[in-house]
Amino acid sequence: MTNATSTVTRKDAAARPDSVVTPERFSQGMTSFGQWMDAIEKNKENFQRHYDEFQPAAEDVAELKGLVEANGVKALVLGEDWCPDVWRGLPVVAKLAEQSGMELRAFLRDQNKDIMAEFLKDGEFESIPTIVLYDRDHRYLGHWIERADQANAEMGPLREIMAGKERDTPEWTEARAQYTAKTWELAEGWRQAEVKELLALLHEALD
């Protein structure tokens, strides 16, 4: 998680020949939302709430399912349990995988810094979640970082709620509660925007 803008990245059709994400390494990741929940220690209620509240549109699931069947699309996701962007973003890709048949592998970022190093935001930031997409031959298709553009645009005004508040004061506590409540109000739009950006990335790579 950083305060920079989101990144949707397409590189070459083939992954780097020296990538640490070999098919064998990919296979070592957690395969489901349930495994992820068993592995983390913090904020399980936030992950679960995002997972429960998110329902992808039927047409988006069908579109992704078609890409999975035609190209063997699969996804790797890096995250940590302390990051609000991961609370929101990881359940989206997990539920998409469940409903479309897409293979998913989830990794804890801080235990897999060598993977993270290949997908740094702006070549510098270890931003999460990072979702990396491959085809059935393990060819790299592209990756998505952190949050949707819609979320970045709408977070700007939200940050004004916290502006000038001294941490751990009553004013800060009240402002933080307002900020959190507002992010939950906007979360569904951000989740759906993530789906659209992932689908657009796949079409750019595969069409």
- Judged against a pLDDT cut of 80, whether residue 186 lies above it is answered with yes
- Judged against a pLDDT cut of 90, whether residue 18 lies above it is answered with no
Residue 160 lies inside a defined structural domain of this protein: no
Residue 88 lies inside a defined structural domain of this protein: yes
Q: For position 93, which CATH number holds?
A: 3.40.30.10
Residue 2 lies inside a defined structural domain of this protein: no
Residue 188 lies inside a defined structural domain of this protein: no
- Judged against a pLDDT cut of 90, whether residue 24 lies above it is answered with yes
- Judged against a pLDDT cut of 50, whether residue 141 lies above it is answered with yes
| Mean pLDDT of all residues in 156-170 | 90
User: Could you report how far apart the first and last alpha carbons of the chain are, in Å?
Assistant: 31
Please count the helices (runs of H) and the strands (runs of E) in the chain: 8, 5
Total domains in the chain come to 1
- Judged against a pLDDT cut of 80, whether residue 5 lies above it is answered with no
What are the respective helix, strand and coil percentages of the chain, to the nearest 5? 55, 15, 30
| Mean pLDDT of all residues in 137-156 | 94
- Judged against a pLDDT cut of 90, whether residue 119 lies above it is answered with yes
How far, in Å, CA of 110 to CA of 75, rounded?
19
162/86: higher pLDDT: 86
| Mean pLDDT of all residues in 145-156 | 94
DSSP per-residue letters across 134-159: E-TT--EEEEEESS-HHHHHHHHHHH
Residue 161 lies inside a defined structural domain of this protein: no
pLDDT tens column, 31-67: 999 999 999 999 999 999 999 999 999 999 999 999 9
Residue 128 lies inside a defined structural domain of this protein: yes
- Judged against a pLDDT cut of 70, whether residue 72 lies above it is answered with yes
pLDDT at 3: 35
Residue 86 lies inside a defined structural domain of this protein: yes
Residue 112 lies inside a defined structural domain of this protein: yes
Neighbours of 13 (CB within 10 A): 11
- Judged against a pLDDT cut of 60, whether residue 1 lies above it is answered with no
Domain that holds residue 27: 7-149+196-206
pLDDT at 156: 86
